Amino acid sequence: MHALLNVAVMAARRAGAVLIRNLVKLEKLKVEKKGRNDYVSEADRAAERAVIDVIQKHYPEHAILAEESGATGEADSDTVWIIDPLDGTTNYLHGFPVFAVSIGVQVNGRMSHGVVYDPLRQELFTATRGAGAQLDEHKIRVSGRQELEHALIGTGFPFRQADSALEPYLGMLGKVVKHTAGVRRPGAAALDLCYVAAGRLDGFWETGLAPWDLAAGSLIIREAGGIVSGLDGSEGFMDAGHILCGTPKIYSGLAKLCAGEIKAILRKP
C-alpha cells in the first residue's frame, strides 16, 4: 500500500471511531444549520479533527481542504488532502445507517489516492491511481451490465437547489424510473460512488455536490473500470458539483436517455 494511502486509511478509521462513539448520544449533540438542508454537528467537527491530526502528524507540509474547516496548510504544496469527515450528516443525525468518511489525496493536480470508510459496516474502499480499486483489500470492478432495463441506478436529490433544479431533475428521475430496474437514494454520495465501483449500483447521478463529496469516490470508480464525468460530459465535475457515472454502457445510456433534462439542469443558475 502506498504511504499516502496508508495514512489516509489510518485517518479514516480514526474518524470512523469518533463517529461511532457519538452515534449513541445523538440527542445530546450540538447541531448547527449551515444552509438549506445542510447541517453540521460536533461529531462532524470531531471526526474532521481526528483526520487532520493524523495527516499533520505524518505530512505537516501538505495542504488540506476539509468540509468544515476549509483550506489549511501550505497553499503551495503539491499534495492536497480533500476531506469529508461525515458524508451523510442528515442520515447520521437521524440514526439512519448510511454514512461514511471520505478522504481523497490530490498530487500535482490529479486525484491519486482515495479512501471511503463505512464505519458501521466496517467496509473500506480504497484506490491508488493506476493500481486498481479495492474493498477490504479485495479487487473490485464495476458491474458487467450493459442494458438500462436491467440496471440499478443511484441518485441524490438536489436539496440545496430545490427551487432551481428540482423540475428538470424530476423529469430525469421519471425517465430513469421508467427505463431501469430501479432507483435508489441512500443519501451519502461518497458511498453511492463506491457502490458503483463495487457493482452494487450500475450508475449514479447527482447535482449540487462539493469537491469533498466526489474526490475519493470518483477515483475509486475509475480504478474499478467505470466512467465518471460532469452531467455535461466534462472533466470539471469537482468544481461544477454535478456528476454522472457508471459502467461504460450504462453511463452512455443514461446520458442519451436524459440529454434534454440534463441540458435543462445545466441551464439553471
Q: Do domains 3-140 and 148-267 have the same CATH topology?
A: no
Q: Are 74 and 123 in contact (CB under 8 A)?
A: no
In whole angstroms, give the CA distance from residue 231 to residue 260: 11
Q: Which CATH class is domain 3-140?
A: alpha beta
| All structural domains of the chain with their residue ranges | 3-140, 148-267
**What is the model's pLDDT at position 29?**
79
Q: Please tell me the chain's helix, strand, coil percentages from 3-state DSSP, rounded to the nearest 5.
A: 45, 25, 30
Q: Reading across the β-sheet that carries 203-206, which strands appear in turn?
A: 182-184, 152-155, 203-206, 243-246, 227-229
**Residue 144, CB-side half-sphere exposure with 13 Å CA sphere:** 0
Low pLDDT (below 50) residues in the chain: none
**What is the model's pLDDT at position 162?**
56
For 128-166, write each residue's pLDDT tens digit: 999 999 999 999 999 999 999 999 999 998 866 556 678
- CATH code of 148-267, in short, is 3.40.190.80
Q: Are 151 and 145 in contact (CB under 8 A)?
A: yes
Q: Are 155 and 173 in contact (CB under 8 A)?
A: yes
pLDDT, mean over the chain: 92
The alpha carbons of the chain give a radius of gyration, in whole angstroms, of 18
In whole angstroms, give the CA distance from residue 86 to residue 187: 12
How would you label 134-144 residue by residue, b for 16+ Cβ within 10 Å and e otherwise? Answer: bbeeeebebbe
In whole angstroms, give the CA distance from residue 149 to residue 76: 48
**What is the model's pLDDT at position 31?**
78
